Chains A and B, each alone.
Chain A
Amino acid sequence: MSGNVPVDPSMTFASFVVGPENRLAWEAARTAAESPGSAYNPLFIYSDTGLGKTHLLVAIANRAQELQPDIAVVYTPIEKLLRELAAESEAGTYYHDAEILLIDDLQFLGHHSEGHRSLFHLLDHLLMAGRQVALACDRPPLELGELDDRLLSRFSGGLVVDIGRPKLETRRAILELRLSALGASLRPEVIEAIARSAIENVRQLKGALNRVLAAQKAARREIEADEVDRLLADVVSDSQLPWLAEAQEQVGGEFEDFLSDVSSAVEEALGAPKWREDLARAILKWEGEGYLTKRLEGYLDGDEIVDAEQVIAAYERDVGTLRAIEEGFSRLQAQLPPEVSFRDPDLVEELRRLLAEARRANLAIDDYFLDSEKVVWNWPVVDELFIENWDNGH
């Protein structure tokens, strides 16, 4: 190979476990290796870390060389490429002569416009000459930050494809393939437990397998499935759960069913007792008029069923009494103590007492009058009668 970074010969298309979540990337990479420059050029592969991007780039190199031993294939991380382009070293000529250029870790492209310009010219040169370019990155081109439009269009001009997180079947297959490559064996239920262990990162999955194998070797006996959880306790992160990746696609379904059931139940529970509805309506009405309704709220929050008609009538009588007392205070031009309010029906007795005190303090001769039977009354007494009559239902 003409590349300046050695690649792992074991990373081939055959050793890459294909599943529904990575089939397109695998097919596209194989096409790039077997017919360079003919399709998907450039090929832009992105995924979260540890899902096989580098494996596919290296597989392109290995497969292309297998088919054409003299082909000039260059595999390089982006940082090394930029460094060498900037230095205008001899190594830089590798890239311009490459028939297949494989650039890894594109997320480390950085923000140096000089580097962007050099990369653009290199890609432009290779693509115009029909050479194959494949790039790997942890994000799609549009999320690479501030990029020159021309560079962005070069990245996106071929095929942009992602690798999804491996589903259970794929994880199982990865483990079995790995065991076969290592010439090791585990009980089937142990393989199943590792596959189900919520590790979705292929690299970590292999690490988990190594750990279980090491434990088996150290214990000199076969590991049991119920030991796997403990062995992998610090590898498995709750954030790596199989359904998280697909969650966005399926959001709503189960929740909507649940919501529908709960809504029915709540409606039934709240709708059934008329007395609560009556109390709630009364609370809203009197709150709207500025009166404190804690007495009515207490009935609502309580466990006892109450006669709403009766308690609302009592409350409204107290509100009427409050209004009469307020009128009495107003006529006397007397001030209420600041801590007392005409809006609290629970303070009727207290206010009645305060009004009586205020009258005694304000009693004057012109407060007297004669009624139709020539009985002499004074205003405080009339007020009392008025309030009493209100209390007795007018």
Chain B
Amino acid sequence: MSLVNYATREITCKIVYYGPGRSGKTTNLQYIHSRVPWDRKGEMVSLATETDRTLFFDFLPIELGQISGFTTRFQLYTVPGQVYYNATRKLVLQGADGVVFVADSQRSQLEADIESFRNLQANLLEQGIDIRDIPVVIQYNKRDLPNVLSVDRLEEELNFRNVPSYPASALLGEGVFDTLRSASEGVLRKLAGKLDVSFELRNSEGVGKRAR
């Protein structure tokens, strides 16, 4: 996907929410959807099983409007977390400009988190993308639950590449926009890198801040 199309003066940014089953990817999108004014968002498309687990994917288009004369839109996707839907995950990953990895902070979910992160790397590699070359943000979700691992421990297990990471409770809306803002920064930073300039998102407390 072309991030910036100068001919049609459009910026389209595809961010994929990745992570194990039931880690809260869909909840992230639902929270964002609930906070976006109706005239800025498309219908959130969710294809789910009867028990509300995401079977195929969720898709949320957001129109940011005209920025610097460019029609700017974000497309947020989730992948199905369950192990057996790998083909779908690969499909959704295609053309991603950035990835948000939603980890489940619960102690019992650590193995699933690690497995899913490995799966992300493998699926990116299959598309010829080194995970170091694509903006990735990690969200440690479900911080509001009692039996969670410390952020330090999760950082040790998952964040060996030292990417931006955020604690969150998507169910309560905490950390959801911090995560999205950081992922957007990563994607736009990459764009700026191409253009040989550097920048930071301004006025954005928490962006780039480590979870610790």
Q: A residues engaging B (CB < 8 A)? A: 189, 192-193, 196, 198, 224-226, 229, 233-234, 236-239, 241-244, 247, 250-255, 257-273, 276, 279-280, 283, 287, 293, 297, 300-301, 303, 305
Choice from B70, B194, B207 contacting A266 with Cβ under 8 Å? B70
**Who on chain A is nearest to B203 by CB?**
A261
Q: Is the CB of A258 within 8 A of B180?
A: yes
Choice from A226, A266, A268, A279 contacting B107 with Cβ under 8 Å? A226
Q: Is the CB of B195 within 8 A of A276?
A: yes
Contacts of B64 in A (CB 8 A): 259, 262-263
Q: Is the CB of B184 within 8 A of A226?
A: no
Contacts known (A238-B30, A250-B35); A262 close to B6, Cβ less than 8 A: no
- How many chain B residues touch A (CB < 8 A): the figure is 56
Q: Is the CB of B171 within 8 A of A196?
A: yes
Q: Is the CB of B195 within 8 A of A273?
A: yes
Choice from A225, A241, A264, A305 contacting B147 with Cβ under 8 Å? A225
Classify the interface of chain B: helix, strand, loop or mixed.
Answer: mixed
**Inter-chain residue pair count (beta carbon < 8 A):** 154
Contacts of A263 in B (CB 8 A): 64, 67
Contacts of B203 in A (CB 8 A): 257, 260-261, 264
**Who on chain A is nearest to B62 by CB?**
A255
Q: Is the CB of B6 within 8 A of A279?
A: yes
Contacts of A224 in B (CB 8 A): 147
**Which of B92-100, B124-132, B151-159, B185-193 contacts its partner?**
B185-193
Contacts of B34 in A (CB 8 A): 241, 243-244, 247, 251
Q: Is the CB of B6 within 8 A of A280?
A: yes
B2 close to A (CB within 8 Å):
yes
Choice from A243, A261, A269, A283 contacting B31 with Cβ under 8 Å? A243
Contacts known (A247-B35, A267-B67, A272-B192); A300 close to B6, Cβ less than 8 A: yes
Q: Is the CB of A255 within 8 A of B36?
A: yes
| Whole-angstrom CA separation of A143 from B38 in the bound complex | 22
Choice from A229, A251, A271, A273 contacting B68 with Cβ under 8 Å? A271
A and B contact pairs by CB, cutoff 8 A, 18 listed? A196-B172, A198-B171, A225-B147, A229-B106, A244-B34, A254-B177, A260-B203, A262-B184, A263-B67, A264-B202, A265-B184, A265-B201, A265-B202, A266-B70, A267-B67, A270-B4, A293-B7, A300-B4
Contacts of B172 in A (CB 8 A): 196, 242-243
**Who on chain A is nearest to B53 by CB?**
A233
Contacts of B197 in A (CB 8 A): 268-269, 272-273
**Who on chain A is nearest to B200 by CB?**
A265
Q: B residues engaging A (CB < 8 A)? A: 2, 4-7, 9, 11, 22, 26-27, 30-32, 34-38, 40, 48, 51-52, 64-65, 67-68, 70, 72, 106-108, 144-147, 171-173, 177, 180-181, 184-185, 188, 191-192, 194-197, 199, 201-204, 207
| Whole-angstrom CA separation of A266 from B38 in the bound complex | 23
| Whole-angstrom CA separation of A243 from B172 in the bound complex | 7
**Who on chain B is nearest to A251 by CB?**
B37
Contacts of B177 in A (CB 8 A): 254-255, 257-258
Q: Is the CB of A272 within 8 A of B72?
A: no
Choice from B27, B147, B202 contacting A226 with Cβ under 8 Å? B147
Q: Is the CB of B196 within 8 A of A268?
A: no
Chain A to chain B: the 9 pairs with minimum beta-carbon distance, closest first = A247-B34, A272-B197, A226-B147, A269-B192, A189-B146, A268-B199, A300-B6, A261-B204, A266-B67
| Whole-angstrom CA separation of A196 from B194 in the bound complex | 44
| Whole-angstrom CA separation of A255 from B52 in the bound complex | 26
B108 vs chain A, min Cβ distance (A): 6
| Whole-angstrom CA separation of A107 from B38 in the bound complex | 28
Contacts of B32 in A (CB 8 A): 255
Q: Is the CB of B35 within 8 A of A255?
A: yes
Contacts of A198 in B (CB 8 A): 171
**Who on chain A is nearest to B148 by CB?**
A226
B17 vs chain A, min Cβ distance (A): 14
Q: Is the CB of B146 within 8 A of A225?
A: yes
B19 vs chain A, min Cβ distance (A): 15
**Who on chain B is nearest to A275 by CB?**
B195
